[in-house]
Chain A
Amino acid sequence: MKLAYYPGCSLSTTGIEYNMSTLAVARTLGLDLWEIPEWNCCGASSAHLTNHLLALALPARNLAIAEEAGLDVAVPCAACFARFKATEAAVKDSAETRATIEEVIGRKYEAKYTVKSLLDVFVNTVGLSQIKTLVNRPLEGLKVAPYYGCLLVRPHKITQFDDPEDPVTIDQIMSAIGAEPVYWGYKTECCGAAHPTVVPEVGLKMLKSIYQGARDAGADCIVTACPLCLTNLDMRQKEVGEQNNTQYNLPVFYFTELVGLALGHDPHTLGIDKHFVDALAFLKNKGFLNPVQNRRDSE
């Protein structure tokens, strides 16, 4: 299965481990990810908040390149996914918009192929049963709080692949690799996006309620599919804990890292050593770092 792959800016900097784990796991799952050459930033929420046309045009250039190659596009980052989907929908919706966008990017783009979230690809293209059969280190006893945030599920008429109020794809993947997804009420609450950085007095409070929710639900860790959510939840956790005289001790993972671990990859290959909240020690404690047979890294 060959797909165009758009890593996006985060996956080469703050979310580098998302890229590492995605590429490692994709190989095992038989996914051929073709990185869109010379891709550009999707504009993220900044373009979206400032300029409607720019917000459509920046993703469109990348989509046009993938369309030339005749491929559906897999997008790991939730923010990029949301922007790509919005462009895809706008182009499908109106010939006029399409013409304007094509003029701005200087390329042809007809939205002939589909933009898919990497989560969607795992669950609906690869399939849960395929993942399940490849597991050789089931993460039994690991209680994870699946955290989707906003952009993977809203607005539903654009994102579509999962439910806006009770999304399940991460839950299903976690169950497939033997972990136990906990039920909690903050699956789709907002992490604050740029707020923890830009207006920390607001953003950190938003994070606090998510940590508290995960803790109340009895989770050991949080698992997500969004680099911005992960950066916020991981990097700010200590600070928020200190503000509230507590330590949350909730490592935050990309779902691809945990899948990689369950498929027998080395945690360093997956980038698990790159987190602020010590994920390696946590996994070691849980006994998930013991060597397994048929290590995938040698493949």
Chain B
Amino acid sequence: MLKNLEEVRVFMERINLTPGLAQAKPIRDSLKEHCGTDVGRCYQCGKCTAGCPVAFAMDYTPREIVRLLQLGLKEEALKSKTIWLCATCDTCSTRCPREVEPAKLMEGLRQEAKAKGLVADKRLDLFNDLFLQLVEKYGRVHEMGLILKFNLLSAQPLKDAGHGPGMFLKGKINPLPHTIKDNGEVKQIFARVRALGGEGK
């Protein structure tokens, strides 16, 4: 009996709204400023989620992410997988009757989650980092190289190995990285963006 009791998992813990609600207004204001979108306008119709191609894999639906933010529970949103699984397809923003633009919201939340070290799905973050490293280094991206490197670093080295020879034979993989002759200009872009702190609306 006792053992069974210990195994009970708490799926839904009651949320104390009081501390969150005090934060709701500042959170709404800062999202308005940083993402250019107002979560206060959302009336929870669910049209975003209804059309989302990735919602099936999310821990919170896009609508629920907005709800968390409305209630001042931003930490929960930042820790969610949802913000990383969003494919930025923009279907939600296109159809939102209240012009809330959830896709933009996800983008802002990802950047904030990353800054706070709350990345829930490391793979997508790693992929983006590797991609940009290549751009900075070579000016262009060597796609298959990127995929192979990603697989290596995400500890699944053989995942797409099956596709490699095919790609090679079809002339789709160039064994040498693509680059532009003088990549100094692109390197400078990265350096200047870093100096500016990456902001700039």
On A, residues with C-beta under 8 Å from B are 9-10, 12-14, 16, 38-41, 43-54, 56-58, 61, 94, 97, 100-101, 103-106, 149-150, 154-156, 164-165, 188-190, 192-195, 197-202, 205-206, 209, 235, 273-276
Give A164 to B199 CA distance when docked, in angstroms: 29
Tell me which of A155, A192, A206 contacts B90 (CB under 8 A).
Answer: A155
Residues of B within 8 A of A193 (CB): 87-89
Asked if residues A43 and B124 are in contact (CB atoms below 8 Å), the reply is no
- Give the docked Cα–Cα distance between A56 and B201 (Å): 10
- Which residue from chain B places its CB closest to the CB of A199 in the assembled complex? B123
B157 to chain A, nearest CB (A): 14
Can you add 17 more A-B contacts, CB < 8 Å, to A105-B185, A195-B85? Answer: A9-B141, A13-B172, A13-B178, A16-B171, A39-B180, A40-B139, A46-B129, A46-B132, A50-B110, A54-B193, A58-B135, A58-B186, A150-B88, A150-B90, A189-B89, A189-B91, A195-B54
A189 in contact with B53 given A13-B174, A54-B189, A58-B189 (CB within 8 Å): yes
13 contacts between A and B (CB under 8 A): A13-B173, A43-B132, A45-B88, A45-B128, A46-B132, A50-B129, A57-B192, A154-B94, A194-B127, A197-B147, A205-B56, A205-B57, A274-B170
Interface size on B, residues (CB 8 A): 62
On whether the beta carbons of A190 and B114 are closer than 8 Å, the reply is no
- CB pair B143–A53 under 8 Å, yes or no, is no
Docked pose: A205 CA to B121 CA in angstroms: 18
Dominant secondary structure of chain A at its interface with chain B: helix
Supposing A9-B140, A150-B89, A150-B91 touch, asked if A61 and B186 sit within 8 A by C-beta, the answer is yes
Instruction: Indicate if the CB atoms of B139 and A97 lie closer than 8 Å.
Output: no
Other-chain residue from B56, B171, B199 in contact with A274 (beta carbon distance below 8 A): B171
What mask results when residues 119 to 138 of chain B are scored 1 for a CB within 8 Å of chain A, else 0?
00101100111011011000
